[in-house]
A and B are shown apart, each in its own frame.
Chain A
Amino acid sequence: MNPSLKFILVLIIALEVSFTNSIVGNVILIVVGLLYLLVKRVKLKRLLWILLIAVIPAIGLLISQVLYAKSSHAGILLFTRIYVYVIYGAAFTLTTKLYELVNSLEQNLHLPSKFVYGVMAAFNLLPEIQAEVNKIKTASLMRGVKLHWWSPTLYFRAILSAIRWSENLAQGMESHGFVEGQSRTFYEPVKITMVDWLVFVFNVILLQAILLLL
């Protein structure tokens, strides 16, 4: 499915779920979401890990509702709601490549390309941040300075690195021909096909049926 449409669909699901009170609806959505993830053959270990992490806020909400609001219905509702969010969040992120999403956001939703490539560059730098922090710590030890995670110098250096990266990147993008607002050509044009639209509309209608009729 087209990544932008998929993104919008997940947003619609999340929004509607926030305004409905059907536990059965939530459970059906959870089952459907899990089936989708299994069909898409996402890494099971990763999925289980995500589900496990979500237990903490979900149980927290459940307990607080049951104990203080004396409402087990509200507790279970919020518990299942959290899982709808988590599973559909996973359904989106685990099955969409950032590169494809960004291409689609730029070409289909016509988001400003500055924003699109800024986000992309920031994401590409993420894996470097951990290495950067380690490097800052070791480099400081070489200067005889021990930086702890609470040391202001560590944050000063990290923020400084980030600022330098963004400055260099802006110049790098411009020297690679990027001009804000100028039209671009696309190596991999991303289209929203008829099938994408059909799947999208079908899913939205199905969602209404599940949430409103039950």
Chain B
Amino acid sequence: MMINIKDLSFSYPEQDKILNQINLKFEPNSMNLLFGPTGSGKTTLLKLIAGLYPKYSKGEMSGKIDMDEKTAMLFQDPNHQFAMKTVKEELIFALGNLQVDPAQMPNRIDDALAFCGISSLKNRTISTLSGGEKQKVALAVTVAMKRPVLLLDEPFSNVDFESKKDIIRRLVQLKEEHNRTIIISDHNLSDYIGIADHFFNVQNDSVKPIPVKQIKNRLPHHPDKEIEYKIMSDNDPIINLLNFSMTDGNQNLIEPENIDLYPGITYLNGKNGSGKSTFFKALSRLHSYNGVVKILNRNIKKSSLPFLMRYENLVFQNSEDQFLTITINDEIQLAKKNAITKNWTDDRINDLMEELHLDQLTDRVVYSLSGGQKKKLQIVIMLIRDAPILMLDEPFAGLDQESTTIISRLLEDEAHAGKTIIFASHQQTELVDNADFYIELANHRLTYKEDVHES
């Protein structure tokens, strides 16, 4: 299945061309990796190949994409891409669309779920799944469809490390045994060395093939190392959990537990669906729990919500949840107006916006930004707010290496200045290496870990 792109250009309304005169071939039976800074056009290119753009955008396209087969695409945002209630119903829906013989459906569904390691999710209601689980379900749908071309837009941004390695291995198998063309966009290339056949850099309105050798040189050096974390602190705890437990409605996520959280950086790690997001929501009173949660010695159930939200803020997994206005500039102005401290001066904000390449976009409607740009803006406005406790749910999903480094450094500075940073992430970032504490959420327990071997 050859995909032949000729003189392809695309621009969104009132913006410069995001892709300009692209000439590109994707060979049959190949795994291709797209990488490049946030907002460079990776999603745009994938949606053009999928035939979703220009139909679902107001943009303008010129040039041609030649291919004679159909595609299946997985979206970057795991939410709201499913029409049906349960995982099984969604798979039946997709197979029904392809006019698959109903007698074959059960096998295809079971195979696809097993492929993604999520057979146990078959009868679950999709809206109750975690972000990472939804990504795996979306992947299972694309696998079940058996289309010759698979387009995966940052499929692993919320997926735990082990599952990612496992699924990549199976994708290779799929490619080789079933002759698929697979195109993946991802910011983390190290998992694809020796696996992907071609790498393409999407940057400055062009798409350039990059030899694997050069890719190796670009990778950040990650030696095998033992990282040590603290399990005790000289400081008083800032959050106390007393006899704390929570469920997701069906099953226990955390069993009754006493645990304290301290100022500094705490890395919360756990597999997909273990309950990290729900834990953050419980601490923000967006999810029910049993037991007592004290922040600065105040029971949060007895504090008023507006009061509580001056002490703890959450950077949501889905960036759009955090936006209240229309343009980037409006969001920044609102953040400045309602900042708890005056630590963020105009100069500091402007420098940061420039560093994150958001300074040229201030008039843009926030919803028109790329996934990574939204994430950066979201973190900036929550930093400006400057609450003493900042929880971040997958803050690095969709971010390129440069932005990840900048944001890690910023969060470290905040922690040194006395702030409490608690974050969950499946990306191996500097912030993981430099965290003070490491809490693992596994087997329904929250446990401090002293040393973690990282490879």
Contact = CB atoms under 8 A, between A and B. Distances in A.
Nearest to B147: A177
A165 B89 CA distance: 19
Interface string B291-315: 0000000000000011011100110
Contacts of A187: 92, 95-96, 102, 105
A145 B314 CA distance: 15
A170 B80 CA distance: 9
Interface in B69-96: 70-75, 77, 79-85, 89-90, 92-96
12 contacts: A138-B286, A142-B309, A142-B313, A143-B381, A144-B309, A171-B56, A174-B56, A176-B83, A177-B95, A185-B96, A185-B100, A187-B96
Contact of B316 (A139, A184, A185): A139
Interface stretch (A77-85, A127-135, A198-206): A127-135
A143 to B, nearest CB: 6
Interface of A: 99, 117, 120-121, 124-125, 127-128, 134-136, 138-146, 153, 157, 160-161, 164-165, 167-179, 182-189
Given A139-B322, A141-B306, A178 B80 contact: no
Interface in B97-134: 97-102, 105, 126-127
Nearest to B100: A185
B284 to A, nearest CB: 6
Contacts of B285: 138
A195 B20 CA distance: 64
B309 A172 contact: no
B338 A168 contact: no
A131 B206 CA distance: 41
Interface of B: 47, 50, 52, 56, 70-75, 77, 79-85, 89-90, 92-102, 105, 126-127, 141-142, 145, 284-286, 305-306, 308-310, 313-314, 316, 320-322, 324, 334-335, 337-340, 367, 381-382, 385, 387
Contacts of A171: 47, 52, 56, 75, 81
Contacts of B126: 124
B281 to A, nearest CB: 9
Contacts of B340: 144
B97 A178 contact: yes
Given A136-B321, A168-B80, A177-B95, 15 more contacts: A120-B84, A121-B82, A121-B84, A124-B82, A128-B127, A138-B309, A143-B322, A171-B56, A172-B80, A175-B81, A177-B72, A177-B145, A179-B97, A182-B97, A184-B97
Nearest to A166: B80
Contacts of B381: 143
A127 to B, nearest CB: 7
Nearest to A173: B83
Q: Which of A157, A164, A171, A186 has the most CB of B within 10 A?
A: A171
A127 B249 CA distance: 14
B324 A121 contact: no
A164 B320 contact: yes
Given A176-B90, A177-B97, A120 B83 contact: yes
Given A139-B322, A141-B306, A184-B97, A169 B52 contact: no
A162 to B, nearest CB: 10
A144 B341 CA distance: 12
A127 B101 CA distance: 33
Contacts of B93: 117, 176, 178
B83 A117 contact: yes
B18 to A, nearest CB: 18
Contact of B97 (A140, A145, A176, A188): A176
Contact of A172 (B75, B127, B338): B75
A145 B338 contact: yes
B82 A172 contact: yes
A157 B324 contact: yes
Contacts of A134: 286
Contacts of A185: 95-96, 99-102
